[in-house]
Amino acid sequence: MPPIKNTKVSTYLPRLGLSALILCLISGIILTFYYRPMGNVFQNVEEITTLVPYGWFFRQFHYISGQVFVILMLIHTLDHFLKKRYLSYSTGQWFLLILSLCICFFVLFTGFVLKGDKEGFFAGQIFMNILRAIPIAGEWLSKLFIVPGEDFFFLPYLYHCFFLPILLIYLIREHIREWLPDQKALFAGAAGLFLYALIVKPHVDVPPDAAVDMVKGPWFFLGIQTLLKIMHPVLAGLFIPGLFVLCVLILPKTGTAWGRALYYLITTAFCLYGILTFRAIIWGP
Ligand code: HEM
């Protein structure tokens, strides 16, 4: 195996990503002072946006720092994949990287649900229905993540604000010291995100009782939302994404010929999902 070349992408992006994570955690903690997962969540979030001093700013800052962090984690993983670094890593290291990325997307997803508007509520309900559709254990499994009724937002809130960030920090703990941004990087990251939150208008939250033609999920879920229209929920929402993650996980364990075939299969599936997502962003799922 030739020595690994460290490009700018490999060295700077994780540092910028960690800056975004630190800023996202700080803004998230500020939001939890006001956020109430029980009762009328949509009204509570609207109050944060319109009545709480700088509430709109903290929401937008938290939103963009979270998105930037997860997108940089995705690029970081793609960088490892395209340079075939998994060949020189232990299976455990590769497994941790992929698991951390999956958790990142789940944090984004639960954050989307927590908005409490029509889109957030629908996303939560679709997720609950996918889990419930699993034969035998579905009903029980769904109750571990989300329950219908008054407490609908409570479990996503616990996962989003506590369990998942703590688990994520634990999983990437060995990288944290290595990637810890210096003051300059942290300041540059904060300035960029600050300007974005100040200048760019936030996405308008759709009231739960509004009549709308189409309800869209978060950007990375749009491909699955499209597949859900033509396939059984377990197939579109769990089996296909699960099989994809499994193929990525076993990649370092496969021999040369199988490894090459699997590498191209994963690349093709990723590109197809990208096309599906892009199509759904433009024309709807
Ligand atoms: C990896 C870490 C995190 C990421 C990527 C992330 C991302 C997000 C995203 C994308 C949203 C939806 C915002 C919107 O569309 O308006 C959100 C909402 C929210 N997040 Fe986080 N978050 C993270 C950690 C945290 C933490 C640690 C807390 C609190 C301790 C927190 C508290 C909240 C709250 C209360 C909301 C709902 C309010 C709103 O919609 O503005 N987040 N998060």
For the chain, the structural domain boundaries read 8-204, 216-285
pLDDT at 7: 61
pLDDT at 56: 96
Tell me, in angstroms, the distance from the centre of ligand 1 to residue 164's CA. Answer: 11
Q: Which of 31, 34, 47, 74, when mutated, tests ligand 1's pocket best, judged by the most ligand atoms within 8 Å of its CB? A: 31
Q: Are 111 and 65 in contact (CB under 8 A)?
A: no
Which class does domain 8-204 fall in?
mainly alpha
Q: Which of 62, 108, 122, 161, when mutated, tests ligand 1's pocket best, judged by the most ligand atoms within 8 Å of its CB? A: 62
pLDDT at 259: 84
pLDDT at 2: 47
pLDDT at 222: 95
Distance, in Å, from the CA atom of 17 to the CA atom of 9, rounded to the nearest integer, reads 11
- Nearest to residue 223, comparing CAs of 283, 274, 271, 266? 274
Local structure of 128: helix, strand or coil:
helix
pLDDT at 179: 73
Phi-psi region of 65 (alpha: psi -120 to 50; beta: other; left: phi over 0): alpha
pLDDT at 218: 95
Q: Are 135 and 235 in contact (CB under 8 A)?
A: no
For 112, the enclosing helix (H) or strand (E) is: helix 91-114
* pLDDT digit string (tens) for the chain, length 285 residues: 444 555 666 677 888 899 999 999 999 999 999 999 999 999 999 999 999 999 999 999 999 999 999 999 999 999 999 988 888 878 888 999 999 999 999 999 999 999 999 999 999 999 999 999 999 999 999 999 999 999 999 999 999 999 999 999 999 888 777 777 777 778 888 999 999 999 998 888 999 988 887 889 999 999 999 999 999 999 999 999 999 999 999 998 776 778 889 999 999 999 999 999 999 998 877
Kindly report the pTM of this predicted structure.
0.93
Please report the beta strands in 58-204, taking only residues with DSSP state E, as ranges in sequence order. none
Q: Which two tokens stand for residue 36?
A: 């109430």
pLDDT at 176: 78
Contacts of 176 (CB under 8 A, 6+ apart): 18, 169
pLDDT at 5: 54
Which residue has the least CA distance to atom 37 on ligand 1?
114
Determine how many CB atoms are found less than 10 A away from the CB of residue 117. Answer: 23
pLDDT at 9: 66
For 201, the enclosing helix (H) or strand (E) is: none
Distance, in Å, from the CA atom of 237 to the CA atom of 24, rounded to the nearest integer, reads 28
Residues with CB under 6 A from ligand 1: 21, 24-25, 28-29, 31-32, 35, 45, 59, 62-63, 66-67, 69-70, 107-108, 111-112, 114-115, 160-161, 165, 168
